[in-house]
Structure 1
Amino acid sequence: MDNSTLITLVSLGVVVLFLLGVPIFLVIGMWVTGASLVIDFTLANIGVTLFEGLNFFGLLSLPLFILTGDLIAAAGIAKRLAEFAHACLSWMRGGLGLATIGSCGLFAAISGSNSATTATIGGIMQPLLVKDGYDSRFAAATAAAGGTVGIIIPPSIIFIVYGFLMNLSISDLFVAGILPGMLMVIAMQAVCWWMCRKHGWGSISPLDVGRVVRSAGSAYLGFFAIFIVIFGIYSGIFSPTEAAAITVGFCLIAGLIVTREIRWRALPDILLRSGQLTGMLAPMIAISIVMQQVFALLGAAETVQSFIAWFGSGDVVVLLVCMGIVLAAGTILESLPVTVIFAPILAPIAIAAGVDPVHFSVIFLVGAAIGFITPPFGLNLFVASGVTGIPYSKLVRFALMYMMGLTISWLIIAFVPWLSLGLIPQPG
């Protein structure tokens, strides 16, 4: 058999393993090994590249931002941010639902994780939403949808991965995600308001300025943590890694001394949870470097480029087809494998068509984020289902409404580059 047939058989074999539930890292690793044997690419390269792929100072911010998310949840900072959001929005129809999405945005501005955002905010807000008269399925879907901004609003774990893979400034990527993330929050809040107005969900209470001020004072720790990350990176005072380390230290001290909701004996469990997630992400990043090398030898980029060219050669056509590929991949894969598999292939094609590389990174990852609530995968829907106990299938209907709002915001982000590039400091 020729090499193309053997590669096809290897690919089909690992797809079967994926469908059987084999971890994605092992699936990709098996494919890389099998493909390397087929094309006679030395296996010694795998070991060397796995090490060198992680031997990068900028990746130190990855475990630190993961730990930050666990610390702010354990320290009660997330709950205080949610209370502030509700105080600001309680005067509107669906105010508590709007506050849930707003809380996700605030939590994302410290944690950088979609699943952590969904689990933490969903666990806090879903019981309150149900108590206030919201449909329990809608409440859980709202937390799942709100969690999509976890990888867009900086700091973002997946932006760190993307920047590392594509050799882009992580600081620039973080800044580029600010306005698009805010637009996504507004789009989801618009959907939430419309749904609540249609069904009459949620109570309305007059705006209490005193309550807003008091809740803002209670949430000052969260605001300061956001300030450390956003202002520190934007101004150039901190690198992303330095900002992550300082934020971890701040949240740890805040939880131990100020809120006193973190106990010393709980620290090993918090560190273990963060370490487990880091242990899942780091091998994926390493094996992705090897996979890029194999893809290059197989001519994968040229194949995809020919496929896209079949639709036309205009920059708009290229961008729309790339977006379609990302969205389709996001329906069956989590954002990390979508990024490590498709970003090295699609980004050069989009850049050749005239799309700014930083702008495309935002377009790419917003599409991957929408995949978090897109069946049949929809990771955030599984997380929300696990937190609330509501079956996955019962969340899909409401998640699709949020998906429509997110898709509209995605198109705006794609065709208004200023949203991604306008805040990035220009040299000189």
Structure 2
Amino acid sequence: MTDGSWTTLISIAVTLLFMLGVPVFLVIGYWVIGMSFVLGLPLINTGSALADVFTDGFALLAMPLFILTGDLINRSGIARRLSDFAYACLGWLRGGLAMASLGACGLFAAISGSNSATTATIGSMLHPEMVKGGYDERFSAATAAAGGTVGIIIPPSIIFIVYGFLLNLPISELFVAGIIPGAMMVGAMMLVAFMICKRNGWGYLIPLQLNRIMKTAIGAWLGFFAIGLVLWGIYTGKFSPTEAAGVTVGFCIVVGFISLPVYRLMGSPSEDRPYTERNMSEYLVVQGFTPVELPSITMRSAQIAGVLAPLIAVSVMMQQILSVLGAQEIIGDFVRGMGGYYAVLFTSMAIVFVAGMVLESLPVTIILAPILAPVAHSVGVDPVQFGVIFLVGASIGFITPPYGLNLYVASGVTGVPYLKLLRYTVPYLLSLFVVWIMIALLPFLTSILIP
């Protein structure tokens, strides 16, 4: 058999494995090993290349630290107090709790940098509250899934770190460039939630009370401080993204240790009653952890990092093999042949969207970004702006079937079947598409905050 026949056969085989539910890491790994034999590449080179991905990439050290940050802010109670504050601000509007869920996703994303962690945390906390408050359970679960899409756009972002590492771009600039697009995504989804809830009459209204807002803001001040610490350090150049991740982990550990004794004095919630029926003294959730619990929290984060790290490594190897096969030139020539600035830009966006429908954002980024970014730059697209455009498109894939990782996460934490989420996901998808196009057409949205 010719090399082309072997390549086709191996590709079909791993595609079938993917359709049968084999983890993406193994699917890509099998393809990399099979193609190494076809191309005559020694496996020892494969092993050294996998190791070089991490030994040569200081920026990637931020990834496990931000994963740990997400778990720490959940266990420390910061995430819940941020959602309490969001509801106090928005609960007077129809669909206020749904909008508060989306706002809480944005606030949580500003510390954790993960889409799935955002969906899982906010979904597990606020989905029961929304159901108690009269919202349709399918809509509630879809809201959590959609809100999680901003997890990789609002800084700090794990995928921005990977993108900057691959394209040799300043990660701090990518972080800052994602602030306004991330806020726009949250705002657009809030508008959709308001319109749906107003049409269906969902949700109870609470009065807009300054003392309620102030009390929940005081309860959430540690969360605001953590957000400000990360953004200040990166924006001013005091911290690199990796250093910022380390500082945030340390801060969250301290918060977790002091939360139990401090917040127990401020009242505990009545979990059997919805938000709308609670007294203000019941909004502050007593959470935290002891030094004895810290190793188990760290182990859980390490397990997640242990899944992502090999996926990054084999995806880099896949990208290298595709380069040997000439795939980069083929795709690059195809996109370049579409014409000028906007033709190349929108063709690239279409490719990212289609890839995001069937792959997780990490392999999409590692495989396609080194191919599409140089082509976009050659027609005048700013590299940082294209990075944001690329990753907003990848984030939309989190709620786009058939893959839709956030849909699976939301289904898992809420108990709502995957297929039942899709109906209420469509309006959120449309709003995100509008924001995506605006980011592509208006470059200043990504550049205005960059110092």
Q: TM-score, normalised by structure 2?
A: 0.92
Give runs of aligned pairs for residues 12-411 of structure 1, distance below 5 A.
Answer: 12-55=12-55, 56-260=57-261, 261-309=288-336, 312-411=338-437
Aligned to 2:267: none
- 2:357, 2:400 within 8 Å by CA — same for their partners in 1? yes
- 2:398, 2:405 within 8 Å by CA — same for their partners in 1? yes
| C-alpha deviation, 1:259, in angstroms | 4.0
Query: AA paired with 1:26?
Result: L
Aligned-partner SS, 1:376: coil
> Residues 192-239 of structure 1: CA distance to partner in whole angstroms, max 9, x if unpaired?
011011111112222101111111110001001001111110000111
How many residues are aligned here?
424
- 1:54, 1:285 within 8 Å by CA — same for their partners in 2? no
> Residues 115-159 of structure 1: CA distance to partner in whole angstroms, max 9, x if unpaired?
110111111111111111111110111011000000100111111
- 1:326, 1:364 within 8 Å by CA — same for their partners in 2? yes
| C-alpha deviation, 1:245, in angstroms | 0.6
Query: AA paired with 1:208?
Result: Q
Structure 2 distance, partners of 1:280, 1:75, is 24
Aligned-partner SS, 1:329: helix
> Residues 296-331 of structure 1: CA distance to partner in whole angstroms, max 9, x if unpaired?
211111111233356x21211111111111111111
Structure 2 distance, partners of 1:361, 1:344, is 11
Query: AA paired with 2:335?
Result: I
Structure 2 distance, partners of 1:309, 1:75, is 49
> Residues 165-190 of structure 1: CA distance to partner in whole angstroms, max 9, x if unpaired?
11111111111111110000001001
Structure 2 distance, partners of 1:289, 1:393, is 33
Aligned-partner SS, 1:406: helix
- 1:151, 1:157 within 8 Å by CA — same for their partners in 2? yes
| C-alpha deviation, 1:290, in angstroms | 2.0
Structure 1 distance, partners of 2:157, 2:408, is 21
Query: AA paired with 1:13?
Result: A
**Greater displacement, 228-237 / 26-35:** 26-35
Aligned to 2:273: none
Aligned to 2:272: none
Query: AA paired with 2:84?
Result: E
Query: AA paired with 2:289?
Result: I
- 2:335, 2:375 within 8 Å by CA — same for their partners in 1? no
Query: AA paired with 1:324?
Result: A
Structure 2 distance, partners of 1:21, 1:351, is 36
Query: AA paired with 2:331?
Result: V
Aligned to 1:10: 10
Aligned-partner SS, 1:331: helix
Aligned-partner SS, 1:355: coil
Aligned-partner SS, 1:398: helix
Aligned to 1:419: 445
| C-alpha deviation, 1:39, in angstroms | 2.1
Unaligned runs of 5+ in 1: none
Structure 1 distance, partners of 2:191, 2:318, is 41
- 2:336, 2:375 within 8 Å by CA — same for their partners in 1? no
Structure 2 distance, partners of 1:271, 1:396, is 34
**Greater displacement, 29-38 / 220-229:** 29-38
- 1:76, 1:259 within 8 Å by CA — same for their partners in 2? no
Aligned to 2:269: none
Aligned to 2:270: none
Structure 2 distance, partners of 1:4, 1:307, is 21
Query: AA paired with 1:421?
Result: S
Aligned-partner SS, 1:161: helix
- 1:183, 1:409 within 8 Å by CA — same for their partners in 2? yes
Aligned-partner SS, 1:285: helix
Flag as ranges the 4+ runs of structure 1 deviating above 6 A.
none
> Residues 25-63 of structure 1: CA distance to partner in whole angstroms, max 9, x if unpaired?
221122112222222233322111111111122111111
Identity %: 59
Aligned to 2:264: none
Structure 2 distance, partners of 1:244, 1:66, is 9
| C-alpha deviation, 1:23, in angstroms | 1.9
Aligned to 2:277: none
Structure 1 distance, partners of 2:4, 2:219, is 61
- 1:75, 1:254 within 8 Å by CA — same for their partners in 2? yes
Structure 2 distance, partners of 1:95, 1:109, is 21
